[in-house]
Structure 1
Amino acid sequence: MAKPLLCGRMEIGRIYNIKPTVVSNTWIHRGVLSYEDAAIVSGKPVWPGGFVESLALPPGSRGRQLDEVALAALEAEQGARVRPRKKGELPALVGAQEYAELFGVTQIAVGQAAKTGSGLVAEPDYALSGSKVWLLDTVLDHAPATMETSRKKLWVLRDKVAEALQEGRYDGPGSFFSQRGNKAKPPTP
């Protein structure tokens, strides 16, 4: 499968020349964007690039104007070859939480391994809104090296987690959207 264009809040802000907070505070609140249209990776929404592109209003109208130059630059940076319109068209994606679950380690261990370049963690396919994201195929292709490099053989691929991710039925850590900030706090009575 060709590598898809993906967008988090920061990428949407970039290609529409708006602040990422407008994406989360205004677009989602007004129904322009929905978490239903996003894949949830490590608790964060990731929207298909073609879907995000389709949100643009016609040139010359007021409102959501797509910056074609910024879109092309993002597509080049990601090495994306397709612009899927639906989350069901996306390949299985892995963030740090899912990576940790795949190998039975902590998310902290994944983060440290990614920083040190120890060979335990594959090079990420994306940096979306400040988070590393991998295609599941990248992680699985790198799995033999991960397990070989692991001291005391602590990193062991969990086939059941890989199958669940591949089949779109994964419901472990990172699989649901987690509210942050004031919206995460329970209402005051």
Structure 2
Amino acid sequence: MRQLKPYLVGHQEFAALYGVEPGMVGQWLSPSRRALDPATAIVVSGVRYWPLGFAARYGTTTPRFKQVNVRVKERLIAEQGEGWEANLGDELPPIVGQQEIIQIFHLPAQGNLATTIATGRFPHRDWLLSGSPLWLLDTVLDAVSALRESARSLPWETDEAVIAALRNGTYDGPGSKVLTRGRHVAKGL
């Protein structure tokens, strides 16, 4: 039986919960404000994502109370389908994006994965958050046989060390860190 996926939010969804622009989430994360601790997020393909339970509760933890928009929360849950509401990142199963998938299969280029996704040979994403597709690691691994059968030239061999690191939370390859941009580069968000 397949495990239900947890509800997640990216920057855009987090901002929508509080009726602010997505850039505001970045401001909450900024070293000058520190209203939102970066450690509350998981990083997938170089982007932060939060469990919906944490994001919906965030407004009650700030010095200035922020009211969550319940309708937006209900819409996010409906869009993500059947799942469950996690509160902490360590409650989440392994989640991957395109950068991690490229490492799992040692694909020669991102174009190989993009083509496989575009032609419908890759498993359907589990989430589309802030414009980025994400998958449960198990969704990707369950599709390995089908990927091999449909392949013309790629072997779709998995790297067990990368998979083990993703499962136990020690993955430190491409996509495991957020690349800080702008004036906060030196401060290391």
State the TM bucket, normalised to the shorter chain: 0.7 to 0.9
Q: Distance in 2 between matches of 1:45 and 1:107?
A: 20
1:156 Cα offset (Å):
1.6
1:52 aligned partner, one-letter code:
A
**Structure 1 equivalent of residue 7 of structure 2:** 5
Q: Distance in 1 between matches of 2:46 and 2:64?
A: 33
**Structure 2 equivalent of residue 157 of structure 1:** 158
**Structure 2 equivalent of residue 128 of structure 1:** 129
Q: 1:32, 1:55 within 8 Å by CA — same for their partners in 2?
A: no
1:181 Cα offset (Å):
4.4
Which of residues 84, 87, 91 in structure 2 aligns to 1:85? 87
Identity percentage of aligned residues: 36
1:16 Cα offset (Å):
1.2
1:152 Cα offset (Å):
1.9
Superposition RMSD on alpha carbons, in Å? 2.1
2:151 aligned partner, one-letter code:
S
Secondary structure of residue in 2 paired with 1:40: strand
**Structure 2 equivalent of residue 174 of structure 1:** 175
Q: 1:147, 1:157 within 8 Å by CA — same for their partners in 2?
A: no
Q: 1:8, 1:129 within 8 Å by CA — same for their partners in 2?
A: yes
Q: Distance in 1 between matches of 2:148 and 2:93?
A: 23
1:72 Cα offset (Å):
0.6
Q: 1:62 to 1:175 in 2, by over 3 A?
A: closer
Q: 2:144, 2:156 within 8 Å by CA — same for their partners in 1?
A: no
Alignment of 1:25-64 (within 5 A): 25=27, 27-29=28-30, 30-57=33-60, 63-64=65-66
**Structure 1 equivalent of residue 77 of structure 2:** 75
Q: Distance in 2 between matches of 1:77 and 1:52?
A: 16
**Structure 1 equivalent of residue 145 of structure 2:** 144
User: Is 1:104 aligned to residue 106 of structure 2?
Assistant: yes
Which of residues 19, 22, 30 in structure 1 aligns to 2:21? 19
Q: Distance in 1 between matches of 2:55 and 2:7?
A: 10
Q: Which runs of 5+ in 1 are unaligned?
A: none
With 78-87 and 49-58 compared, the bigger mean Cα shift is at: 49-58
Q: 1:180 to 1:155 in 2, by over 3 A?
A: farther
1:14 Cα offset (Å):
1.4
Q: 1:16, 1:65 within 8 Å by CA — same for their partners in 2?
A: yes
Secondary structure of residue in 1 paired with 2:124: coil
